[in-house]
Structure 1
C-alpha cells in the first residue's frame, strides 16, 4: 500500500529488517521495529518480567509445569487469530534454528528436555525436566510473527502494521488511529545525524556509533540511556597467564574504567562491575560497585606469578563499537603494570565470532555480551557445567552450585537474590576483563515529544510524538 500523505514521524536508523521468524536478535534497530509491529511473549523491563502477548502464567508446585495464557483475542494484522498453536510452532522453530553467524542457538540446549503443548487455543503448557525459573525471561526475547506473501516476517499483533517494506532500505507503518511512521536505513552514523540536522528526518538513532561522539550541543534534543550490553574482554581461563585467578583479578585492577569512559566514549558509558549490567536480574540485590583502579596492587600481584611471555590481545573492528580504541587503552594499562601485549586486529567480524566460539581467542579477546538475561549470560558464557559456545575455560565449582540454585528458584524475588550471589562471586573471581556499559544515543528535532530509549536500546514513542 502506498502512503498518500506525509508521515507523522520520519526516523533514520542503522538497519531496516525484520529477519526470519525463527531468528532472535539483540540488534537495536531491528528490536525497535519488532517492538512496534510485534509483541514479545513476555515483556522485560530492567530485570523484571511482565505481561506481553502472554498476560499471565502460573507454575505448579514442582516448578516443572508452566501454563501460559494469551491475552484476550489477539489477532495478527492479516486477520489470522493468534493461538497457542502459533506460539508452539514459533518456539519449536527458534529451538531448531541458527544465529546470524551460522552457529546453533542456545535455545536448543535450554529446551532440550522441555515439551511445549497447545493445551487450548489460548493456553500453552510447558513441561521441563527440572525447575526452570527463568522460562518467562527467556520468552521476553521471542517476538511472535507471521510471514507476508513475499516471505518476510512483517505481520505481528503489535500496535503498528506494515504498509510497505523494502528490505534493508525502508518501511512504512501505521496504527489503528491512522498515525504513520517511516523508518529508513542509513548504515553510516554521520549520515544519520546529517539528516536530522538538515531537517530531512525527525529522529536519528544509534548515534553512539559515530566515529567522533558529539558534545550534544545545539538545537537538537538528545535521547540517551545506558545500555544493558556489556563491553568486556574474555580472558583465556583455559591456559596461559589467565588460568590464574590472581592474574585475572590483577588485570581488572589495572584498568581505569572512568578514564576509558572519558577517553573512548566521551562520557557516554558507565563502568562495569560484573558480568551483567545494573538492570539485569540480581544486579540490584548484589549492590556492586566497579572494581577499584589500583595499578600498584595489580603490579605487585603479577610479580608473584613471574610471567614474562607476550600476551595476544585480539579485537574486532566493530561489535563492540570503538573496539580498536578500547584495545589500545587495555594494552597501555597492562603494559603499565608490567605485561607485554600485542594487539591482533580481526577485520572479519563473523569469522572473529566463530573463532571465539572455537576457543581460538589468544589471551584476551574484546567482545560484547548482549543478552538482557542473567540466566543466559551465566549459561552461555560462564558455567563450566553447560560449557556453552562462548565459555572460555572458566571453572569455579562453588559458583556452579550458586548458578544451579538460582536457575531452579521459581519465586522471582528469591531468584534475584540467588543471582545476586552469583554476580558477587564473579566480581571476586572474574573470568573477564570488565569494562563498560555504553550508552545508546539518538538525536531528534527540537520540539518533538514522546520519545525515550530503554536499557536494551529500543526507541519508544508515545502519542505526543505524532502530534
Structure 2
C-alpha cells in the first residue's frame, strides 16, 4: 500500500516543473526533536541547517568563514572580539535579525554545549553595541573563539529570535522560526510519516560559491520532504524506482547494487567527515564505575571484526583507528593506544577477574533501526558475551534508546550501561567539542564521566595559542581518554549517501545539507 501511494505521489510530481517537484529525502532516523540545542541527533541537525543559520561556517577544508556575519575583528591582546551582522537578514516571521537575538542565542547555547560553556566560562560577557554589532569580552585567553562559534556539530550555535533563545536550554523551544534558506511546515508535520520544508523567498544567500557548510546557501528547490521509510530494503527500492530522491545512508548490503545503477550516484565523504563508531559508557553505576572493567570492555572489542559486520567494501573502512579525533584529522595521534593495538577476549576475561566482576547485568541499548549502529551492535553483543559479560540487550528504535540514555537510574531500574553511537568527524575533530572530552566532570552528557586529572590539560589546550603545543596537548588528552576508558571506540568508516542522478549540486560534507541542490530539467 505504501508503495502504491508513493507511486501516485511520483506521478503527480513528474507533472510539475523541475524546481517545484519536492526533493524526497529518506533520513537514517526519524525527526522527533525540533530544537538543535537540546539534542545531538543527526536528523535534527539536518532539520536545523535548513531552518536556522549560523554566524560562522566551516568549509570543506576545515577553514572558518563569516556566514550570517559580515565579519569580525579581535583586539591585539585577543580578549575583545567584535562581530557585525550582514545587512538585510530576517527571521521567517519577517522581523529583522538583530545583535540582541544573536547574543541571546549564544548565551542559551553556551549553557548547554561543552565547547560553548568553556567559551562562556572564559568570558566577561556579551554586549550589544547596535542593531547589527555585538562584542564578546574575554576574561582570559581562549584560543578557540571562532572554532566555537563556527562549530558544525553536536550542539551547534544556531541563531534564533531572542524570545525563543530565552527558553531554558533543558527544554525544547516551542516555535520553529529561523532565518535559514527553508521554512518548516509544522502544521503539516506527521512524525513517522513526513516532514515538509519550503523555500524561504526572503533568504539572502552569501555571494560566494557553496563550499562545505560555508558560502552561498542557494535554495534552488521549492520544497523538501523528509519521508519515513523505516525498512532499509524499501528505501533502496524507492530510490531505484524514483519514488525517493536522496537516502542519507545506503544500507551496506545494497552498496554494490547501487554502484552499478546508472541512475544512482553515491556520495562518499572526505576523511574528516567520515564516521567513528563508539560506545557510550555509564560511569556512575556498576559494573563500569570501575576503570578496570572499562578497560575489560575495551579489550573485548576488535575493530576489524566489528567493522566487518557492516559489510562495507574495504575501501570504506580503516583496518584500525584509535585516534579519538579521527585518523586523518588535524589532531590525529596514537598516544595512549598501546594497550588497544592487539585486543583479545582472554585479556578481557583476565581484567574481569582482576576487577572483581560480580556478573552484574550490563544493560545494552541496541538501536535496531540504524543501518550503521545495528550491524555493529550485533557483533559487539556477541564479543561481550564471549568475554564473560552478563549482557541484557534492550532492543528498540534509536529515539527511544536516546531517551532512556538520559536516565541516571540504575541499569536494572530503567537505566543503562552501554549504548553504541556514531559520530561524524565534524563531531569530534576538536578536543574542546569531543564528546569524550568536552563534558568531563560536568554532568552534562549521558555517561557522566569524570577524570579530574584531564581537566588541567583541557584548560591548557583552551588557552594555548601555539598550534604545535595544542597538538601535543591533544595527544595527552587522548591518552587520558583511553587509559581511563572514558569511552570505547569501535572504528572509523564511511557509509555513502545516495541520490538520483538527476540531482545536481550535492555537497559531500558528511551529513546531508540541501542548499545548492537542484533537479536537472526534464
The normalised TM-score by structure 2 is 0.69
Q: Does 1:127 align with 2:182?
A: no
Residue 389 of structure 1: aligned partner = 445
Q: Does 1:57 align with 2:72?
A: yes
How far is the alpha carbon of 1:443 from its aligned partner? 1.8
Residue 422 of structure 1: aligned partner = 477
Q: Does 1:173 align with 2:199?
A: yes
Asked whether the equivalents of residues 87 and 144 of structure 1 are also in contact (C-alpha less than 8 Å), the reply is yes
Residue 302 of structure 1: aligned partner = 351
How far is the alpha carbon of 1:257 from its aligned partner? 0.9
- Cα separation, 2, equivalents of 1:411 and 1:388: 29
How far is the alpha carbon of 1:40 from its aligned partner? 1.4
| Structure 1 residue corresponding to 2:420, chosen from 362, 366, 375 | 366
| Structure 1 residue corresponding to 2:225, chosen from 173, 184, 196 | 184
How far is the alpha carbon of 1:42 from its aligned partner? 1.4
- SS of residue matched to 1:283: coil
Greater strand proportion: 1
| Structure 1 residue corresponding to 2:146, chosen from 136, 140, 143 | 136
Residue 310 of structure 2: aligned partner = 264
- Cα separation, 2, equivalents of 1:289 and 1:58: 43
How far is the alpha carbon of 1:41 from its aligned partner? 1.4
Asked whether the equivalents of residues 280 and 447 of structure 2 are also in contact (C-alpha less than 8 Å), the reply is no
Aligned length: 448
Relative to structure 1, is the Cα distance of residues 181 and 195 closer, same or farther in structure 2, using a 3 angstrom cutoff?
Answer: farther
- SS of residue matched to 1:421: helix
Q: Does 1:377 align with 2:403?
A: no
| Structure 2 residue corresponding to 1:442, chosen from 476, 497, 502 | 497
Runs (4 or more) in structure 1 with deviation over 6 Å come to 15-19, 174-178, 284-290, 357-360
Q: Does 1:66 align with 2:81?
A: yes
Relative to structure 1, is the Cα distance of residues 188 and 436 closer, same or farther in structure 2, using a 3 angstrom cutoff?
Answer: farther
Provide the aligned C-alpha RMSD in A.
4.4
User: Structure 2 unaligned runs (5+)?
Assistant: 1-14, 151-155, 163-173, 205-217
Relative to structure 1, is the Cα distance of residues 308 and 349 closer, same or farther in structure 2, using a 3 angstrom cutoff?
Answer: closer
Residue 224 of structure 1: aligned partner = 268
Asked whether the equivalents of residues 143 and 462 of structure 2 are also in contact (C-alpha less than 8 Å), the reply is yes
Residue 31 of structure 1: aligned partner = 45
- Cα separation, 2, equivalents of 1:36 and 1:466: 21
- Cα separation, 2, equivalents of 1:306 and 1:78: 59
Q: Deviations over 1:182-241 (max 9, x none)?
A: 31122225444333211234x222234x49554333322212326555432234555656
Q: Deviations over 1:59-99 (max 9, x none)?
A: 44665433223345545566644332221133344457xxx
User: Structure 1 unaligned runs (5+)?
Assistant: 97-103
Q: Does 1:153 align with 2:176?
A: yes
- SS of residue matched to 2:507: strand
